[in-house]
Each structure stands twice: as C-alpha cells, then as structure tokens.
Amino acid sequence: MATLIDSNVIVSLLIQSEKTEDAEKILENVRNPVTIITVIEESIYIGLSLIYDARGTRLKNKIKDCLRDDAVSFLRNLESFLEDFEIKLIAPPNDVKLLTEIIEKYSLLPNDALIVATCKFYGIKHIASFDKDFQRVDFLEVVVV
C-alpha cells in the first residue's frame, strides 16, 4: 500500500530540525512511498526559505542574485533523497471539481487539498506528514512514530 510523503517530512530529513529524527523513523517504516510535484515544489521553497532566511520577494531576489553553495547542495540532496528512498513521483488528478469538493469538505488550503485529491484518486490511505490538518480527512491515516 502506498504512502504519500508530504513536504514537511522531506524538509525535516534534508535540513536538521527537531523533527528530523521522527521523519527518519517514519520513512524507515513506509513502503511504496509516493509524492507529487506540488510537494517537491513546496519542499524546495521551504528549504530555500530556511537556507536564505527569507520568503517572498526577498527570497526571489536572493535566488536571482546567485544560488549559494548550501542552496545548490540542498537541491542535489533532494534529488538524491528521492532516489535513495525510491519515492515515486505520481501525477495529481486533473479534476477541479474533486479539488474544490475537498477544499470545502475538509477546510484545506489548495496545496493540501491537491494532496488529498491525489490520495483519493489513487486510493492512497496513508500520508506521512506533520501537518495536523490531514487528520480531518476521514479516509486518510497520518503515519506517526
């Protein structure tokens, strides 16, 4: 059975934090890990935000000037992480109606709703995430340590 891996687990594994150990334990026990490009994009944004200690326009300007070595290293580590843990990238559904229904039913932000829509579309019942919002989704089990 597949488990969708969320960005907060990915970032916690790539950038040391208080959640790193928990993220490692979660991934040790997950079989058939999958994710979507939206999660990868969000992981990159959060990771670079932490590295540069900036968000929004400030982050954009810092990145445009030049990617620092630690930012480039983060990107390479992300690529290796996906390969090492054999995380399969799956396509989210192309279904606006499903997305809006999930936003309404579970009161989720669009990116989280897209993750849930993907799980529903593929019959995925497990998600590895530290985001408590997913606990409101009646057909998903949040993987914990």
Q: Report how far residue 139's alpha carbon sits from residue 134's, in angstroms, rounded to the nearest whole number.
A: 10
CB 9 within 8 A of CB 46: no
From first to last of its 145 residues, the chain has per-residue pLDDT tens of 899 999 999 999 999 999 999 999 999 999 999 999 999 999 999 999 999 888 888 888 888 777 888 989 999 999 999 999 999 999 999 999 999 999 999 999 999 999 999 999 999 999 999 999 999 999 999 998 7
Q: Write down the pTM of the prediction.
A: 0.93
In single-letter form, the type of residue at position 35 comes to T
Domains of the chain: 3-143 (3.40.50.1010)
The dihedral through the CA atoms of 136, 123, 95, 116 has a sign that is positive
Buried b (16+ CB within 10 A) or exposed e, 99-112: beebbeebebeeeb
Residue with tokens 């990868």: 40
| Spatial separation of the C-alpha atoms in residues 71 and 76, rounded to whole Å | 9
CA distance 6 to 14: 13
